[in-house]
């Protein structure tokens, strides 16, 4: 087990994820919307597949002109490390399969859902 996780993120146009890097490879598939990394010129659109090797700091943004919220599937190996600033940043926080599961459990509890149904999905 790598501690990695798969996730579908939904992000509004103009919003961003904090600058971070991954300790393993990431594969992503854009379902809806347009997004990019501030560190690169390319723009991902519905149907775009991306692969990124470990180690590069990046800041994901949904473009201001995206016609809809970004909806992106990511398969993440290992954890990601959030940085406290975009350039020469230091450790701020981390996310992995275990922290994501805790967030999901918290969401289930707050919304009155049966967390046992979530835990039943974990192998
Ligand atoms: Fe990332």
- How many Å lie between the centroid of ligand 1 and the Cα of residue 22? 6
- How many Å lie between the centroid of ligand 1 and the Cα of residue 69? 17
- How many Å lie between the centroid of ligand 1 and the Cα of residue 20? 6
Q: Alpha carbon 33 to chain centroid distance? A: 15
- How many Å lie between the centroid of ligand 1 and the Cα of residue 114? 30
Residue 26: phi and psi, rounded to 5, are: -130, 135
- How many Å lie between the centroid of ligand 1 and the Cα of residue 58? 6
Domain assignments of the chain as residue spans, ordered by start: 5-95
Q: Tell me, which fold does domain 5-95 have in CATH?
A: Jelly Rolls (2.60.120)
Tokens of 3: 């501690």
**Tens-place pLDDT, residues 32-91:** 999 999 999 999 999 999 999 999 999 999 999 999 999 999 999 999 999 999 888 999
**Tens-place pLDDT, residues 2-38:** 678 899 999 999 999 999 999 999 999 999 999 999 9
């Amino acid at each position: 087990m790598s501690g990695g996780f798969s996730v579908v993120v939904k992000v509004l146009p103009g919003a961003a994820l904090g600058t971070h890097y991954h300790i393993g490879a990431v594969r992503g598939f854009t379902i809806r919307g347009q997004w990019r990394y501030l560190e690169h010129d390319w723009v991902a659109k519905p149907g775009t597949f991306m692969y990124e090797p470990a180690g590069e700091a990046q800041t994901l943004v949904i473009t201001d002109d995206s016609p809809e919220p970004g909806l992106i599937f990511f398969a993440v190996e290992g954890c990601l490390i959030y940085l406290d600033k975009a350039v020469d940043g230091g450790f701020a926080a981390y996310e992995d399969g275990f922290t994501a599961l805790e967030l999901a459990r918290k969401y289930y509890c707050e919304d009155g859902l049966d967390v046992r149904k979530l835990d039943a999905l974990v192998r």
